[in-house]
């Protein structure tokens, strides 16, 4: 069986207290990094800026986004699909509120375990990467 690929741009958003923001889309259970699909005409960081504004009312300076890499995992809400994410690290000190398809936002300690149901990309890939490589250096 061939697995289909979904290309997205996602953010590891860090607040002033070091916690990271996760979102849950309407009608789903798993929390994940904010972000979304990259349109054919967009660079990943441009897609991220657009998605953050649409989903959270958050305006970012794309030049401040630090590219962490490209990460893949099983898609949380699309069975049989793999999500491939261009992930960017951003520090923010601005309020966010759920908009568009986002139903809930939650700030968590990225260094600790969470009781939340996490999307595979978040729980198995991005947060472990952050713990292993960024906590001391990012």
Q: Model confidence over 103-137: pLDDT tens digits?
A: 999 999 988 877 899 999 999 999 999 988 876 66
pLDDT confidence band for 77 (50 / 70 / 90):
confident
Task: For 21-31, write each residue's pLDDT tens digit.
Answer: 999 999 999 99
Residue partners of 129: CB distance under 8 A and separation at least 6 = 68, 69, 71
Closest listed residue to residue 48, CA positions, set 93, 20, 86: 86
Contact 121, 85 (CB under 8 A): yes
Q: pLDDT category, 2, cuts 50, 70, 90?
A: low
Question: What is the rounded average pLDDT of the residues 22-41?
Answer: 95
Who's near 50: CB < 8 A, 6+ residues apart? 36, 42
Q: How far apart are CA 99 and CA 62, in angstroms?
A: 20
Helices (H), the chain: 44-56, 120, 127-129
Neighbouring C-beta atoms of residue 65, cutoff 10 Å? 21
Residue 18: Cβ within 10 Å count: 12
Q: What's the CA gap between 18 and 135, in Å, rounded?
A: 9
Across 47-76, average pLDDT: 96
Please state whether the predicted TM-score (pTM) of the whole model is above 0.85. Answer: yes
How is residue 78 written in tokens?
């699309």
Torsion, Cα 98 29 50 61, to 10 degrees, reads 70
């Amino acid at each position: 069986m061939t697995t289909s690929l979904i290309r997205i741009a996602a953010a590891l958003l860090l607040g002033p207290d070091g916690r990271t923001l996760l979102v849950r889309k309407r009608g789903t259970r798993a929390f994940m990094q904010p972000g979304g699909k990259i349109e054919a005409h967009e660079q990943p960081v441009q897609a991220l800026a657009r998605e953050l504004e649409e989903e959270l009312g958050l305006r970012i300076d794309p030049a401040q986004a630090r590219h962490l890499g490209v990460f893949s995992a099983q898609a949380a809400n699309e069975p049989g699909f793999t999500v491939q994410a261009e992930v960017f690290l951003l520090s923010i000190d601005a309020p966010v509120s759920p908009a568009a398809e986002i139903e809930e936002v939650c700030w968590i300690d990225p260094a600790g375990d969470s009781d939340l149901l996490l999307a595979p990309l978040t729980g198995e890939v991005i947060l472990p990467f952050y713990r292993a490589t960024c906590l001391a250096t990012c």
